Each structure stands twice: as C-alpha cells, then as structure tokens.
Amino acid sequence: MKYLDEFADPELARGLLDDIARTVTRPWSIMEVCGGQTHTIIRNGIDQLLPDDVTLIHGPGCPVCVTPLETIDRALAIAARPEVIFCTFGDMARVPGSNGDLLSVKAAGGDVRLVYSPLDAVHLARQFPEREVVFFAIGFETTAPANAMTVHMARRLELTNFSLLVSHVLVPPAMTAILEAPRRRVQGFLAAGHVCTVMGMAQYVPLVERYQVPIVVTGFEPLDVLEGIRRVLAQLEEGRAELENAYPRAVSFEGNPTARRVVDEVFEVCDRQWRGIGLIPRSGWRLAPAFAEFDAEQRFDVGSIVAEESPRCRSGEVLQGHITPPQCEAFGTECTPRSPLGAPMVSSEGACAAYYQFRRLNGPALASS
C-alpha cells in the first residue's frame, strides 16, 4: 500500500539509525506522547536499535487508558439500563471499571454495541427511534471532529433519542503537566502527528519557548518515528529547542480549520481527571451549553457516581513514564490482556499491551532498556 510500505523500508531505517548513532554523544531522554507511536517502537524494536544513550519514555497518549474510572462506571450504569443501546469503540469495551467492564454488562443482558465510527451510533438512533442510543465519546483532538459531527447530525435529523457520554482529553495540557513535574526526565518530545492533522502546530510554540524543549511533530510508520527521534536528538546535541514537522505529508501548520470550527462549536474546554495521573487543569472538552440536550450524564443522572482504583495497578506510573510496564509486579502475571487490572493492558495503544504482545518473552533486562 502506498504511504505505508515505503515508510517501513529496512534499508532506509538503517541509514537513519546510523545517522542517529553518529549524532549522539551523551545520554538523552525523549518522550513519544502518543500510544500509537509506542506500539510502533515496541513492535519494531526501535528502542533496542537506538544507541544505549537514548532512552524513550512512553507518554500518556492513550485515550482509553486515561479515561477516568468514574466515567467508566457511569458508562456501565447507563449501558445496563433496558432502554439503552450503548455504543462504544471496541478498545473501551474491556477496560475495567470498579465492577466489571462493558462486555460484562453485555453478557448480563445489556445492549452494548461495538462500533467502528461514531456515525454508526447515529444510524442506530435513526433505526431504533423507541430506544435511547448513547455513544461513548472519548479520545484526543484527533477523534473530536468525528464525535462532534454526531450531535450536528442528530440535531439536523431531529433525533431526540441520541446522546453522548463525553470524556475528551487534550494533548498540550498533558505535555505541560509532564514538563512541570518535579521528577521531569523528558528532554524532547515526539508530538502526536494525527492530533496535529486537526489542531495544527501553533499550540506547541509557547511550550517550546517557555520550556526550551525540542518538539517534533511525528508520524506513525517506523521511518516516521525514527526521523522524529533523529530530529529531536539533532536539536538536543546542537543545543537548539525548536518546533519541527517531520510528518509534512499529513500535517500542515494550520491543521484542519473546517474540523476545528465544528469542534469549537460543539465542545468547550474543562478541567479533566486523567486516570492514573490526576486532575489536569483545562485538559478536556465537554459538550458546550448549546448542545446540553445531548449530554448523557444529565439525561441519565449518573453524575454522582465516584470510584476508587485497584491498588495493585501501577498504570499511573507507566502513563507518566516513571516505570516501564515490566517493572510492575502484576505485569504478565496478575494482569494480562485477558484479565487486565488497568486500561493500558487493554488498549491497542496502551504501553502495557504493547510490551505484553511484543516483548514479554525477552525478559525484564531488555524490556526496561
């Protein structure tokens, strides 16, 4: 497939790796923010091919992983109602709440549907006017345009049986929180390319200036990730801190203004709890007052549900880059993709799932490199 195979070419990868090896003269730590990039890194062994001086720290960019436990418990409560068809992305269905997950609600008779696109939920609402169709609207800025479009459509189609359970999160405030953390190790960032297809690059300018940290917008194929790493390292070695775009085939500086306009209309910025991390100010989106009629939390009165985490899950430390998954005592023993303690073991972007799938037979010595 065009735009895929050529960005996984082993010979070109070798050239980039050699260039990196020639550039690096001392230890550096770089964070890849997005879980999709974490999977590319672990799956292709990129971390093991880099010089020993380069440490990759896995970031919190897995929306399923950071969706707060309370929100999942609210989803479970709504999904269990007999009148509800609860629609979710497949990733979310097995994320553990305080008491079971969406699939266990389904097993107990709840009508939980795994959908590919939020538009599928709108279609279900048209198809079943006598039922309440709820869509679990989670994700970063990448997913927000799709989720925002559903309420636009529902309004146009005059659907009164459609609502959203919204738990959107935003990347730049999370990067700020990481840069402000007292145990900060991150010296440069690979910014999530697909977030930037929507939001553009302007929001990183103040971060680069204020924290003097290199930020390189990076894609998801193996060569894209290597190029992002190469450019951050070149900046660090030369003492520069700049915003660069290593994914120009998909990202422009201004992003997608059409998508941003709809998102700005439907959502408003709010404080948000991140599972495993805590409250980050102004780091989320919720429905704007003009669209309150589509808010499932109000429609089903689940706002008062609160919850507590499993003490055995160290996903908060994983999400903040303090430990790698194999350093958690429960990894691969008590916690596996079949019976996860925490969300990062479930999601296709979770760091624990990536290590479990591609690295668990190598032993902890390699995994923590």
Partner 1 sequence: MCLGIPGRVEEVWEADGTRMATVDFSGIRKEVCLAYVPDVVVGDYTIIHVGFALTRLDEASALETLALFREAGLLDQELGTA
Distance CA 137, CA 88 (A): 8
Looking at beta carbons only, is 39 or 305 nearer to partner 1?
A: 39
Looking at beta carbons only, is 157 or 306 nearer to partner 1?
A: 157
| Helix, strand, coil percent values for the chain (each to nearest 5) | 45, 20, 35
Within the chain, strands assigned E span: 28-34, 54-61, 84-88, 111-114, 132-139, 162-169, 188-192, 215-218, 243-245, 267-274, 278-287
Does the footprint of partner 1 cover residue 349 (CB under 8 A)?
yes
Does the footprint of partner 1 cover residue 258 (CB under 8 A)?
yes
Nearest distance, CB of residue 363 and partner 1, angstroms: 29
Nearest distance, CB of residue 22 and partner 1, angstroms: 5
Q: Is 333 helix (H, G, I), strand (E, B) or coil?
A: coil
Taking CB under 8 A as the criterion, which residues in 202-221 touch partner 1?
Answer: 220
Q: Is 30 left (phi over 0), alpha (psi -120 to 50) or beta?
A: beta
Window 123-162: contact mask with partner 1 (x via CB under 8 A): ---------------xxx-xx-xx--x---x--xx-----
Distance CA 268, CA 103 (A): 31
Nearest distance, CB of residue 128 and partner 1, angstroms: 18
Q: Tokens in use for 174?
A: 């999370």
Nearest distance, CB of residue 64 and partner 1, angstroms: 6
Bridge partners (DSSP) listed for residue 84: 132
Q: Which amino acid is at 94?
A: R
Out of 58, 94, 230, 272, which residue is the one contacting partner 1 (CB under 8 A)? 230
Does the footprint of partner 1 cover residue 265 (CB under 8 A)?
no
Distance CA 176, CA 60 (A): 12
Describe the strand order of the beta sheet including 162-169 as a list of residue ranges. 111-114, 84-88, 132-139, 162-169, 278-287, 267-274
Nearest distance, CB of residue 319 and partner 1, angstroms: 14
Q: Is the dihedral of CA 250, 251, 257, 263 positive or negative?
A: positive
Q: Which stretch binds partner 1 (CB under 8 A): 73-81, 189-197, 310-318, 330-338?
A: 189-197
Out of 59, 63, 188, 326, which residue is the one contacting partner 1 (CB under 8 A)? 63
Give residues in contact with partner 1 (CB under 8 A): 1-4, 6-7, 9, 11-12, 14-16, 18-19, 21-22, 34-36, 61-64, 89, 91, 116-120, 138-140, 142-143, 145-146, 149, 153, 156-157, 192, 194-195, 197-198, 220, 223, 227, 230, 246, 248-252, 256, 258-259, 262, 347-349
